[in-house]
Amino acid sequence: MSLEKNQGLTYSPQYQAMLQSKRLLGCLVLGIGIPMIPGLAAAEDFGDALGQALEDSTWNGNLRGYAYQRWHDANGPVGFKNQQALGGDAHFLSGSLYGFSVGLGFYTENAFLPPDYEHTNGGLLGPDEQNLTALAESYLQYQQGEALRIRGGRQLLDTPYANADMYTMIPRAFQGIGTHLEPLRLLDVKQDQAKAAPGDWASPSPQLAIEMHRMWDHESRFDDAFRCGNEYLDRLCAGGFWTTGATYDQQFPAGGLKAQAWYYQFYDFAELGYMELGYQFPGQLFGAWRPFVQGQAALEGNSGQRTLGRVDSQIYGLKLGVDFDRGELALLWNHAPVHHGAFRHGGQVHPYNDLSGTEYTDTMNDGLANLGPGDAYGARGQLDFLQGRLKTFASYVWYNAEYGTSGAFYGVAHPYGFAVPEDELVRDQHSYGTDVGFDLDIGGFITALEGLRLFNYVGIRRFEGVENTFVENRFGLVYGF
């Protein structure tokens, strides 16, 4: 899932009234650090720097209204569940004071249906169906242009196996310290100023980024507090994780390259390595049609006390497709081998993401990371209309799980970490996942409604041997300001 950007806001006249309160808050948060940096400049120079930092501070946010419906939740007999919520998020980023700045991010989500509504959908507000208000972002950072950023405190991450995964109004957030480094910029390596051509993956200049993160606590999408647990042991301390990774992309005359490699240490749970490599054919060969190939591998083993038992998991993937002016078409494949006696006989341990689109064959409610060892084959298409203001997508994936659980993914109480007893496992269980949806930029048509967008996503999941088909519909209206 892509995160909505919270940078670079240009204020319209109606928000000028907020400037005074913004300056006051900036004085408070930046003023805390003043005694810590004596002697940086003369008093008058420091005052000028502080004033400029306050002037450079920014506010932005989103107002959100969501309605999520489910039919046959968890493939069960209840025909219909519904939940609606109103909420949003607001973000403050101070200007830079000698490279230091402060960021805050507030999120709120509130049920719109009456409290006595019988068939609520826990996929929006969580199983406890509670209204939530969270300070998910609260950090101090040091930044040197685009080359270096060191951030400490509550923050969002965007890595393959630790990410915000924000399909509710509350993101998955983390607490710790993280670094983003672009060494070519830091070393002032001369960059080709040419931008990526239409259809190209990247620009002619090499883009290399390195990230390092040590996180102790996290806040789930259904909580308003940071805890030291994770998806498997939410209420117990799990030690957190650290990760380091690198991403690279560059366009050559012979085609485009992009790659990433990551290492994760999920303390006392598992250690995981993830690699991905992609190549896009040059435009002069096929004109507007740009064939590409991508491959991925996630390799996981034991860590520390082996809280979930022995871990031995691999997921391999291949994506063959074509980019064109208005979208993308691709064939998808993933495979995970069996390892008898390991966690879910070869299942992946992923404490800080869940069907986040990391594996090529992830769908809204299904994927090999949860199904365990097996295979997945599918296709996905994206198509844009109306000069990109209307984005549509559709995917279909067929799954085969060596040890099927009929969609019961969450829980590790049974032997080998399965969520169901061993006698309920279905050998070689087939299932499919189908997703369709659209995202419409309404503000692109009506200037007075700039920032308003509407989306609707539908996910369908069907398991062999299960009577009911699980269907989920997610509708949302978002106004960004």
Full-model pTM: 0.86
Question: What is the C-alpha separation between 155 and 80, in angstroms, rounded?
Answer: 36
What are residue 270's DSSP bridge partners? 266
Superfamily of domain 13-480 in the CATH hierarchy: Porin (2.40.160.10)
pLDDT at 193: 58
Beta strands in 305-373 (DSSP E): 313-324, 327-336
Q: What is the pLDDT of residue 5?
A: 35
Q: How far apart are alpha carbons 398 and 379 in whole angstroms?
A: 9
- pLDDT value at residue 24: 40
pLDDT at 2: 37
3-state secondary structure of 21: helix
What is the reported pLDDT for 6? Answer: 36
Give the per-residue pLDDT at 43. 66
Regions of the chain where pLDDT drops below 50: 1-37, 39-41
Four-point Cα dihedral 229, 230, 234, 236, nearest 10? -30
Closest CA to 347 of 397, 434, 432, 410: 410
Instruction: Give the number of other CB atoms < 10 A from CB of residue 115.
Output: 7
pLDDT reported for residue 22: 41
